[in-house]
Amino acid sequence: MNTPGATPKKTTEQDRIVGERIQALRKSKGLSQTALGSALGVTFQQVQKYERGMNRVGAGRLSEIARVLEVPVTTFFDSDEGDAGQEQAEVFGILRTHGAADLLRAFNALEDDQMRRDVLAIVRRVARIGQDQAS
């Protein structure tokens, strides 16, 4: 509760990062904002505000979000573990790319390991062709 004359807490860069990670993980699970909101007992508008970093996510709510998304709470924070933290930030950056979560879900749905290797080889080949054409 705010005391009279106190200014409300403003959202921070960390709030924005937490929101981006909530969004990336939600999309990677194939959940809509409405579905996540229902699981948390909040509206999809509230989920939108969390994801955009407009509203801070309290510790209890973040714990619930982690439970629903099946990740540890630490996933939402920058890691100070050098290369591991940098790799985690890179993964979240990639997941923000349009279509990345859909591609990952489809890839994950492949049960045959050889088919997964073949699909990965195709995607890498197409990426190289795209890079060569851009040069």
Higher pLDDT, 36 or 13: 36
The pTM assigned to this predicted structure is: 0.68
* Backbone φ/ψ region at 42: left (φ over 0), alpha (ψ -120 to 50), beta: beta
For residues 101 and 27, is the Cβ–Cβ distance under 8 A?
A: yes
For residues 119 and 110, is the Cβ–Cβ distance under 8 A?
A: yes
Cα 69 to Cα 18, 27, 28, 77: the distances in Å are 13, 10, 9, 15
pLDDT of residue 64: 97
Tell me the pLDDT of the chain averaged across its residues. Answer: 86
Give the pLDDT confidence of 53-100 residue by residue, as tens digits: 999 999 999 999 999 999 999 888 876 655 655 677 777 778 778 888
Which of the four CATH numbers 3.40.50.620, 1.10.10.1100, 1.10.260.40, 1.10.287.3510 does domain 6-96 have? 1.10.260.40
**Both tokens assigned to 32:** 């809509």
| pLDDT tops 90 at residue 134 | no
Per-residue pLDDT, averaged over 126-130, amounts to 89
Cα 1 to Cα 8, 39, 73: the distances in Å are 10, 26, 25
Half-sphere exposure of 113 (CA within 13 A, CB side): 0
**DSSP per-residue codes, 55-87:** SPPPHHHHHHHHHHHTS-GGGGS---STHHHHH
pLDDT of residue 105: 85
**How would residue 104 be classed by pLDDT, with cut points 50, 70 and 90?**
confident
**How would residue 125 be classed by pLDDT, with cut points 50, 70 and 90?**
very high
Q: Would you list the domain boundaries of the chain?
A: 6-96, 99-135
